[in-house]
Chain A
Amino acid sequence: MAPAVLVTVVLFGGALLGAVKQSVEPSLGGGPSTWNLDSWRTLLASPGFLDALRFSAQLALIASVLAASLAVAVAVALRSHGRLVRSAFSLPVPVPHLLVAVVAFMWLSPGGLAQRALGRLPLRLVHDPLGLGVILVYVYKETPFLVLLLLAVMGSTLREREEAAAVFGASPFRVLIWVVWPVIRRPLLIGTMIVAAFVFGAFEVPLVLGPNYPLTLASYALQAQQKSPLRGQGVAAASLLVAAGMSILIAAAVMRLARTADA
């Protein structure tokens, strides 16, 4: 136990502390400097940051809800199938996000393969202001991950209980609400929360497919760093701390929800 806790506390705790330090003392070793809240003030006054916060939240919400709903439908459809069919549907899991984004770009960008095949694109999915391309990549990547989580709990015990409920005259809808839902709710909530937190920190996928404005919080931070290497550091660290805090908040809220729902 001890080594893992030690490594996490030192490296991860150190990282958070480092980000806090950067956000209040953005000197990067350039001589003595005083603590101040300038970076935070700049950040909170920046319309680009507020839009990035809203945009990240919007992406996280839409992508995680879409992936979760799709995952439930796919899991219900797949549960009666064997390992072969299931593993075919889990193929996208090990493919890196950036790679999926590259493939999406090559298919969907103007002049890409989809446009060559169809003649014209019905919908703009690359660099579109709503981040639809980004959402598409995350739904493609995260749905199979959630399906795996759901299928793990949808085993034969659940099937027996469903059959018992049906024998006692419960309608399929009632079986779904009273027998299936209580079993899948917890893994679904926790899995969806991980997806939401993950999308909230989205970085390389929006760099490839996202709009130039609004940015996600992580790409906003990158832009701040690149715009002014010295003053931007503090603003970047502050905006990344907001992203980290939001991710942890999402997690805490859903854990609480899962616990109260169980009681």
Chain B
Amino acid sequence: MREPRRIATAAAVVLFAAPLTVLVIQAFAEVWRYPALLPQQFGLRGFRVAFAEGDAAAAVSNSLEVALLSTGLAVLIAWPAARSLAATRGRWHGAVLLLLALPLLVPPFATGTGLTEWFIRLGLAGTRAGLVLAHLTVVLPYVLLVLTSAFSPRVVELEEMARSLGTPPLRRLVFVTVPSVRAVLTAAFLLGFLVSWSQYGTSLVVGAGLPMLPLTLLPFIGSDPTVAAALSLMFLVPAILALVLASRATRETL
């Protein structure tokens, strides 16, 4: 038991923690002259400038709102599709799956640019509603592919058992279906959220200047690394949260 633990810790440090430490150091570096390995002076200038000039507050709240809404919508839309894809393997199964997975393969910047053509006319360009729709296009296939693995024959059997016992549909959904697919549902939501949260190309064209976290972050990378690092730390939070939730979910099923 001790050996695997040591390998896991070493891997986690080398692959994940060690590279990321530079962000933490840089974010709080007030003065960091070459070639010192550590900053000469620590401080909160990075965060101050991020909120004052970088529009960090608006960027975080826009990114959060768009990610939550687009992922929520994607789960609602993908749910019935995942059910029927898991249950039946008709003639069109492969073709439908391919169609639904296509947006995965096409560069999001291309999808966003194409959507802008219509969104400008519809008054959706530069609005959060437009961004939600654009992100939904990219997020939906990820959510759908994960969710398809949720509806195993066992879940369907449980539902039928509940039905034969006279449980009404809504109670069935809340007390039987959702609890039994909870782990996959969480995974699908996390993945969808992260895909939206990380979107760059779609937000750039469709958002038309609306502050979103990755868009706000990029210009600072070359010009002011301290601000870039501060924004990066905020950008990292959902990924860490996802890891914590995922590790808790695996522990539960153990």
Closest Cβ of chain B to A35, distance in Å, is 14
Tell me, yes or no, whether B179 is within 8 Å of chain A by CB: no
- Among A61-69, A166-174, A198-206, the stretch that binds chain B is A198-206
A227-243 contact mask (Cβ, 8 Å, vs B): 1 or 0: 00000000011001101
CB closest residue in chain B, given A6: B77
Interchain CA distance A217-B242 in the complex, whole Å: 32
Tell me, yes or no, whether A82 is within 8 Å of chain B by CB: yes
Interchain CA distance A250-B107 in the complex, whole Å: 13
Interchain CA distance A220-B100 in the complex, whole Å: 28
Interchain CA distance A119-B99 in the complex, whole Å: 52
A95 touches B15 (CB 8 A): no
Taking CB atoms and an 8 Å cut-off, the chain B residues in 226-254 that contact chain A are: 228-229, 232, 235-236, 238-239, 242-243, 246-247, 250, 254
* A87, A97, A98, A237: the one within 8 Å of B247 (CB): A87
Interchain CA distance A251-B104 in the complex, whole Å: 10
Tell me, yes or no, whether B4 is within 8 Å of chain A by CB: yes
Closest Cβ of chain A to B35, distance in Å, is 5
A204 touches B16 (CB 8 A): no
B250 touches A88 (CB 8 A): no
Q: Provide the residues of chain B in CB contact with A2, threshold 8 Å.
A: 80
B137 touches A12 (CB 8 A): yes
Prevailing SS type, chain A contact patch = helix
B100 touches A5 (CB 8 A): yes
CB closest residue in chain B, given A241: B110
A19 touches B236 (CB 8 A): no
B81 touches A1 (CB 8 A): yes
Interchain CA distance A102-B250 in the complex, whole Å: 30
Interchain CA distance A227-B103 in the complex, whole Å: 28
B140 touches A103 (CB 8 A): no
Interchain CA distance A126-B186 in the complex, whole Å: 37
Taking CB atoms and an 8 Å cut-off, the chain B residues in 68-95 that contact chain A are: 77-78, 80-81, 84-85
Q: Provide the residues of chain A in CB contact with B134, threshold 8 Å.
A: 11
Tell me, yes or no, whether B198 is within 8 Å of chain A by CB: yes
* A1, A204, A240: the one within 8 Å of B96 (CB): A1
B132-171 contact mask (Cβ, 8 Å, vs A): 1 or 0: 0110110011001000000000000000000000000000
Given contacts A3-B77, A4-B144, contact A97 B116 (CB under 8 A): no
Taking CB atoms and an 8 Å cut-off, the chain B residues in 210-237 that contact chain A are: 214, 217-218, 221, 225, 228-229, 232, 235-236
Tell me, yes or no, whether A194 is within 8 Å of chain B by CB: yes
B7 touches A81 (CB 8 A): yes
Closest Cβ of chain B to A211, distance in Å, is 14
6 closest A-B pairs (Cβ-Cβ)?
A201-B107, A18-B117, A15-B114, A19-B114, A4-B81, A96-B198
**Would you list 28 pairs from A and B whose C-beta atoms are within 8 A, ordered by A residue?**
A1-B81, A5-B100, A8-B102, A8-B140, A18-B113, A19-B114, A19-B117, A22-B114, A85-B11, A87-B247, A88-B8, A88-B9, A88-B11, A96-B235, A98-B214, A98-B218, A99-B236, A102-B23, A103-B19, A105-B221, A106-B229, A116-B36, A116-B37, A197-B106, A200-B107, A218-B110, A222-B109, A236-B113
Q: Which B residues form the contact surface with A (CB < 8 A)?
A: 4-5, 7-9, 11-12, 15-16, 19-20, 22-23, 26, 34-37, 77-78, 80-81, 84-85, 96, 99-100, 102-118, 120-121, 133-134, 136-137, 140-141, 144, 190, 194, 197-198, 200-201, 204, 214, 217-218, 221, 225, 228-229, 232, 235-236, 238-239, 242-243, 246-247, 250, 254
